Amino acid sequence: MNLYRCRICGDTYLGAEKPTNCPFCGAHQKLLVTAADYEPTVAGDLSRKTRENLQRVLELQVDNSSFLRGASKVADSEEGRALFSALAKVEAEHASVICRVLGVVKPEELYDIGECSPSHKENLAESHRREERAINLYRRLAEEEKDERVLQVLEAFVEVENDHLALSK
């Protein structure tokens, strides 16, 4: 068995081989390293603009996680429930990452069950729109970001959200 750590969320994975994606935040394999090689990457002093941007990211992640948790409750199949539940967990993990970068406590509403349509099909479409909005926001914010850690996180989130688009079609 080997021990791996994710450079984005910092969580540890125990397995025979390095996973394709972090099982917690979805970061791609290139961001997983052996625990012995892991060195935490810490953000520097965040500018007011970066803090504002990260607060927007946090709000989006909280909202998306809650929506997905709600969608998991009304999905029309076990596969649909599992999909929305897994996506909600990844979005919540992203919110946790942002909270650590900002040095703030996780918002209480992070694990709320949000409003959604009673229609599984409509929730899939809404999930897709939310993923696209997140990708566009993270790309825009990454273009103006100067802090290496924040840039690393935003770029990883873009990759993960792009992966999710294929799941919500």
Q: What b-and-e string marks burial along 99-114, b requiring 16 or more CB atoms within 10 Å of the CB?
A: bbbbeeeeeeebeeeb
Question: Does position 16 have pLDDT exceeding 80, yes or no?
Answer: yes
pLDDT at 59: 97
Tell me what the mean pLDDT of segment 151-169 comes to: 94
The pLDDT of residue 169 is above 90: no
Q: Look over the chain and give the mean of its residue pLDDT values, rounded to a whole number.
A: 96
CB atoms within 10 A of CB 76: 12
pLDDT band at 168 (very low <50, low <70, confident <90, very high): confident
Domain boundaries, the chain: 2-37, 48-167
- What beta strand segments (E) does 16-143 contain? 32-34
pLDDT of 167 > 90? The answer is: no
Return the CATH architecture of domain 48-167.
Up-down Bundle (1.20)
Q: What is the mean pLDDT of residues 116-126?
A: 96
Q: How far apart are CA 84 and CA 124, in angstroms?
A: 9
Average pLDDT over residues 59-88: 97
What confidence score (pLDDT) does residue 67 get?
98
Q: pLDDT tens, 67-77?
A: 999 999 999 99
134-138, 151-155, 165-169: which range is least confident on average? 165-169
- Global pTM reads 0.95
Is residue 66 within a helix (H) or strand (E), and if so which, with residue range? helix 48-74
pLDDT of residue 61: 97
Q: Is the pLDDT of residue 123 over 80?
A: yes
Task: Answer whether CATH 2.20.28 is correct for domain 2-37.
Answer: yes
Those residues with Cβ within 8 angstroms of residue 88's Cβ, 6 or more apart along the chain or in another chain: 65, 66, 68, 69, 72
Average pLDDT of span 70-95: 97
Share of the chain above pLDDT 90, in %: 95
